[in-house]
Amino acid sequence: MSKKNIAVVFGGRSSEHEVSCISVVTIAKAINTDKYNTYLIGITKDGHWLKADSISSIEDGTWRDSKVTAVISPDTNGELLISEGDERVKLDVIFPVLHGMYGEDGTIQGLFEMSGIPYVGCGVLASAASMDKFYTKLIVDTLGIRQAQYVPVLKEQLGDIEKVISRVENTLDYPVFIKPSKAGSSKGVSKADNRDMLIEGLTLAAKHDYKILVEETIVGREIECGVMGYGDNTKASGVGEILAAAEFYDYDAKYNNAESKTVIGPDMPDGKEDEIREDAVKIFNALDGFGLSRVDFFLEKDTNCVVFNEINTLPGFTSISMYPMLWGAKGYDIEKLVESLIDMAVERP
């Protein structure tokens, strides 16, 4: 049987470019080379598409020096166009390993839809709605699942900062969290204990997105759950707990602080793991999810109430990433997990 062709797309223009370049190494190494010819397509921070000649070139960063461009054509011929030798490769499937804007927000999924090439992960609607925390909240509100109270703020409204502060303070008590609506990996997220810190946090968040959420602080355990499948075939993993080294699990605590820990299968109050798993599937399906997502919750201190935090439609695959560890505990080693996601993409209804 002849091998199929798979394009693995990584890097990207978002603030999570470096994380993607780590995740893709894990995934590329796990692809079955007996079944697939793998084409590694890196997108630079400037948005240029380049062909990486090897996994090692991704590991050492030299892929960015490549002179060979490679782009996926929007034509329904389903081809990868490579500048070297004017090569045209008929693709059978695409595995995007892109986090954040221009990769996890429905934009590149739209290109894949136009090309007619099967691809791993959520479609345009689920990707866009899940990437935008504000619209995620609107949808989850319809499910009766508790989430943090919030005040939406547009960047343009910061011109009248006193009015914004008044809206926040009339709705929420300090401390509050300030989050860019569409930034990922906790980029641009901060905590404010007072008015001055709120202004600083809004200014920071506005550097990452024009839409900002100011949220009530939920004090409790940070619990995450993996989801895989689609529709009635959707299943949830067990749960994992984040033990952040910093006050909250921001980008630095997540990727640069070795003292941050993850615990797979932590002790939970009776019934709470099942509640989280059920809520994760409900949220995934309400957002029209497909393939994979990681759904994050809080278990509120004192009350043990489950509070939804956010959903990530292309979770990390680094050595410290929760999603592959959660499924690993369910018998899906990385090779089986990657193959299952690819198979699902090809079967996409």
* Contact yes or no for 238/216 (Cβ under 8 A): no
**Close Cβ partners of 228 (under 8 Å, ≥ 6 residues apart):** 234, 235, 237, 291, 292, 327, 340, 341, 344
Q: Give me the domains of the chain, ranges plus CATH numbers.
A: 4-119 (3.40.50.20), 130-147+218-347 (3.30.470.20), 150-216 (3.30.1490.20)
Indicate the average pLDDT of the chain. Answer: 94
- Residue 109 makes CB contacts below 8 A (sequence gap 6+) with 96, 119, 121, 122, 123, 124, 127
pLDDT in tens, 180-198: 998 655 678 999 999 999 9
Q: What is the pLDDT of residue 1?
A: 73
Give the residue among 230, 229, 211, 227 at the shortest CA–CA distance from 101.
Answer: 211
Determine the pLDDT at residue 95: 98
Per the structure block, which two tokens stand in for 23?
A: 């995740």
Q: Please, is 120 exposed, middle or buried when counting C-beta atoms within 10 Å of its C-beta (0-12, 13-18, 19+)?
A: buried
pLDDT at residue number 187: 76
User: Residue 261: pLDDT band by 50, 70, 90 thresholds?
Assistant: confident
17-70 per-position pLDDT tens digit: 999 999 999 999 999 999 999 999 999 999 999 999 999 999 999 999 999 999
DSSP 276-338: HHHHHHHHHHHTT--EEEEEEEEEETTT--EEEEEEESS---STT-HHHHHHHTTT--HHHHH
What's the per-residue H, E or C state across 238-286?
Answer: EEEEEECCCCCCCHHHHHCCCCCEEEECCCCCCCHHHHHHHHHHHHHHH
pTM over 0.85: yes
Strand locations in the chain (E): 4-11, 36-43, 49-52, 70-72, 79-82, 87-90, 93-97, 150-154, 176-180, 190-192, 211-216, 220-229, 235-243, 261-264, 291-300, 306-312
The pLDDT of residue 15: 82
What does the pLDDT read at residue 186? Answer: 67
Residue-wise pLDDT tens digits, 221-244: 999 999 999 999 999 999 999 997
Q: Rounded to an integer, what distance in angstroms lies between the CA atom of residue 240 and that of residue 223?
A: 6
What average pLDDT does range 69-74 have in this prediction?
A: 98
